[in-house]
Chain A
Amino acid sequence: MLRRLLPAPRIALLLAIGLTACGDDPAKKPPADAEDSGEPSARPPVPEVAPGAPALRRLTRTQYENALEDTFLVDLYVPTAFEPDNEVEGLLSVGASTTSVSAYGVELYEQSAQTVADQVLADLTARTSFLSCTPSGASDAACAGEALGLAARKLWRRPVTEDEQARLGALAAAVGAESGDFDEGLRTGLVAILQSPHFLYRIENGAGEGGLRPLSPYELASRLSFLLWNSIPDEALLAKAADGSLAEDEVLEAEARRMLDDARARRGLRNLFDEVFHLYTLPTLSKDPLAFANASPELGPSAREETLLGIERLVLDEDGDFKDLFTTQRAFVDRRLAALYNVAAATPDGFGEVILPEAGGRRGLFGQASFLMLQAHANSTSATRRGKFVRTTVLCQEIPAPPANVDTSIPEADAESPTLRERLETHLSDPYCASCHRLTDPIGLGFENFDGIGKWRPTENDAVIDPSGDLDGTSFTNAWDLAQVISDNPNIEPCFARHVYRYGTGRLNVDGEDELLAWLADGFTRSGHSFRELLVDTVLSPGFRNVGEMQ
């Protein structure tokens, strides 16, 4: 039961045992590492794993765009209307393995394919990226097949069979003959490639029998490149798949490290945290300008950039201790955020590095506008949402949703209850509400000095805000302090190991992966919280390179 509040349980399990989880006190959980002799022990061998079943993974919108860019080497316009991505337990990458495509989605894919094909044929760089032969006439099936085969190889992330190339050539030649235009045939072929399930879905079938079946080299190459680049493999990686060497530990590790040093890793890392922290919702987040003077449509995008830039620096440029994310005084701000944070901007344009003063009370991820804005209401803060984010996203603990048929209204501010702390009193005094809210609200109240868009405020309704509290037995006096308490929580390592694992494998972890996840978390700790090493470790682990039995 107690273990269920530690990382990894799925909410269905929690519910299956009757939702009494809220009655448990996470403070009583056993320490993550019971025996602590001081001396670092040797790393245990990688445990056995029984990974989950393979599933088709639909390309997310960003993967679709990145794949086109990396294939045709130019920026292409992709229509904005698109089959929406679906989120499962907070991750679009996991949702991509469960959804199907609607009839409207098919229609949108077709429109997009046509728009893209037109642009590709009209752009010399894009055109020559796959077309090198000179057609002998409008219906030259061999030349069309060769060109389309090359494009399909990149977009489908695997060699194209002779039969496939012949079919593509025949399709193009038939249209070329009817229209008298070679390009029209080529265009039709591209449109077909871009709508093919081989492009739109990532196929990770694995091979062989049993519960631990290796991915094919091309499947593994794709899994690797989408994890690290959020896009298709490059030629170098495909070559390692072609000669089969990617299955070797050294080669796989070298490829992973090479890819992390590539500029495309920035795109990949950004996407990972966009998903984990839900930053992609910031550009469309609406805030009431009457409640917040600093609110503007540009604030959300700025806040997203601040968080992503900071993570990029920490992980890719410096390979620093990932836990610094929560406590660092360094911030990357533009003028808009500098004004919000009441610091001097480092540069008149774009983002520059500033050091946040201790007197400002703001530091780390939980002092960033992205977190403070997203986990709040349109015109007020939300201690519950902020606390829930810490519990579920940063510590991977489950908080059941509020039950139906309860009165959830919060009293209005008055002289008796000027600050949110008093107004949330019922959440914590009614034992029925308190069972869950005492897990969230005390943490969230620690951030009450920041309003619903992240501006510092010492008071609410003229009453001084009390930001003190306690997280599972460790007390804190304010948000500055709380950042350290969260950062010291032993659930951080397993939680981020789980995020990476789920993101990389595109599914929720299963029981047979518990030991591996614990091993990865331990490795993360041993590396001094190097997120780079966590990525490499995950890639090399058998859970990433294999799939379970097909279902």
Chain B
Amino acid sequence: MSTDDRWKQRLSWLFPQTPAPAARRVVRSPALGPCAPAPLQASRRGVLRGMLAGTAVTVSLPWLELFAGRTARAESTYPLRFGTWMWGNGVRPEQWRPVGEGSGAAWSLSEELAPLAAVKAKLAVISGMAVKVPNYIPHWSGAGGLLTGLDAVGDDEDWTVAAPTIDQVVAAEIGGSTIFRSIEAGIDSNEIFSFTGPNARNPGETDPFTLYERIFGATFREPGAGGLVDPRLGFRRSALDFVMDDVRALQTQLGPTDRQRLEAHLEGVRTLEQRLARLQEDPPDLESCERPDEPAVEYPDVEGRLQITERAEAMHDVLAMALACDQTRVFAFQLSRPVANLMFPGAEDGHHNLTHDEPTPQPGVHNITVQIMRELAYFLEKLDSIPEGEGTLLDHCAILAASEHGEARTHAITDMPVVIAGGANGRLATDLHYRSYTEENVGKAVLSLLRATGVLATSWGDGDTYTADGLAALEV
């Protein structure tokens, strides 16, 4: 089977075969103003219309093109890990943008990026690129355009993505052999920007202790400990078999939309069944793997504010060790969701409110961005402290750290803040600042990232977001 076919099969439930009789056409006005007439959107590429979970979407085929006849690629001894690390509400671009351009000594960190100093040599910072979608839905267009390559679908209060997010695209490729296909986690909300398809969000874990229990609880085995011996694993699998039979039988009685929704459910049951089977096998054997310390059971709010740093650090400790123990190779972490109105320490208002209400140059927003970069730095330093062979775990990662906006005050999706951390087993350039002066498509960087993880993509996006070229500066 060719890679294309494998992909189509894997994601087949995203693409219903029956065209919808009454697809809801989504037509939006351009960003000119609320009273301007709305032009019709037309794609230059072939499209397939369908009803997906009640919402009409137009999925371009292929929104992701892959090389046919894929052959296995020589791997480093250490598996490559991929993750997204998202924060809400953008940055203050002038204060976030690095100083100077190029490699090594040619560039230095900005005020807002300063917390990342210890890992500067393992970063590629990209500034000036843009998400090439029409930006109809503040926050969600930017997030959708960046992470799926297609604009979000719907409106402010009722939207979804048009295609899977990049973490799930990569997980479909490299997530299959670990206990967890991917891990989604966040601090402020379980609404992680991770989707396996339209209306199919992957909710995240927001409680550090629960995340710990999930990965390092009773079923975790350290390297060399052998497979889990528990007769209940078999009983649980029998129950799941019963459930799968029920789902399949029910599917035959439903219309195409609901059949697709149940297909997603069925896929989840299959994944769980496989995980239970895998628990009975020998665990992965990586030198730096050890069960991390238990996080606190609770992180109660202090004076009405979330303990952001405490929670983030606890999550990052667990997540780093989950990668070191090869429990998963893919993660989607979200420090704060788009539009998050988190009360950061010292801030006079919620983050989102400040981005809109604080007079420029918005010192309050600036301080929050610095704090967010500090949390990112904690995680990256943690990954860099875990040895793997000649290098560190961070060297075997490709992490996309980004936000849904450049400047959130104006809901801009130009001058997007992008940090790519880890060298992806030597496949990505590091200690680099690339600045675009022409508002290039940020999809180019995403495509390079995809390729670095071993997803043999020839293109990414569609229409204005389409690119067949990666970002040359990023590729080794």
Contact = CB atoms under 8 A, between A and B. Distances in A.
B205 interface: yes
Interface string A88-129: 111000000111111111110010011000000000000000
B250 A22 contact: no
A15 to B, nearest CB: 6
A409 B359 contact: yes
Interface residues of B, number: 94
A477 interface: no
Most central of A19, A167, A174 by chain B CB within 10 Å: A19
A210 interface: no
A118 B21 CA distance: 46
B353 A196 contact: no
A19 B35 contact: yes
A410 B53 contact: no
Interface in A170-204: 171, 174-175, 178-179, 184, 187-189, 191-192, 195-198, 203
A104 B203 contact: yes
Interface string A195-237: 1111000010100000000000000000000000000000000
A63 interface: no
Interface string A295-334: 1010000000000000000000000000000000000000
Nearest to A432: B33
Interface of A: 11-12, 15-16, 18-20, 22-23, 53-56, 81, 83-84, 86-90, 97-107, 110, 113-114, 167-168, 171, 174-175, 178-179, 184, 187-189, 191-192, 195-198, 203, 205, 286-289, 295, 297, 377-380, 400-412, 432, 435-436, 507, 550-551
A191 to B, nearest CB: 5
Contact of B349 (A98, A110, A379): A379
A286 B301 contact: yes
A192 B239 contact: yes
B457 interface: no
26 contacts: A15-B29, A53-B255, A54-B255, A54-B258, A55-B54, A87-B157, A88-B157, A99-B261, A100-B200, A100-B264, A101-B268, A103-B272, A107-B268, A110-B236, A171-B242, A174-B238, A195-B243, A196-B246, A289-B303, A297-B304, A377-B350, A379-B350, A405-B135, A406-B33, A407-B410, A551-B256
Contacts of A402: 34, 138
Contact of A403 (B24, B31, B272): B31
Contacts of A378: 341, 343, 349-350, 353
A371 B252 CA distance: 45
Instruction: Determine the main DSSP class of A at the interface with B.
Output: loop
A405 B410 contact: yes
Most central of A11, A83, A99, A289 by chain B CB within 10 Å: A99
B409 to A, nearest CB: 6
A55 B258 CA distance: 7
Interface of B: 20-22, 24-29, 31-38, 51, 53-55, 135-138, 141, 155-158, 181, 184, 190-191, 196, 199-205, 207, 210, 231, 234-236, 238-240, 242-243, 245-247, 250, 253-258, 260-262, 264-265, 267-269, 271-272, 301, 303-306, 341, 343, 348-350, 353, 356-360, 409-413
Contacts of A379: 348-350
A285 to B, nearest CB: 9
Given A22-B34, A405-B412, A107 B257 contact: no
A103 B181 contact: yes
A106 B268 contact: yes
B91 to A, nearest CB: 16
A430 to B, nearest CB: 10
Contact of B138 (A100, A401, A409): A401
A401 B236 CA distance: 47
B56 to A, nearest CB: 9
Nearest to B20: A551
Nearest to A179: B231
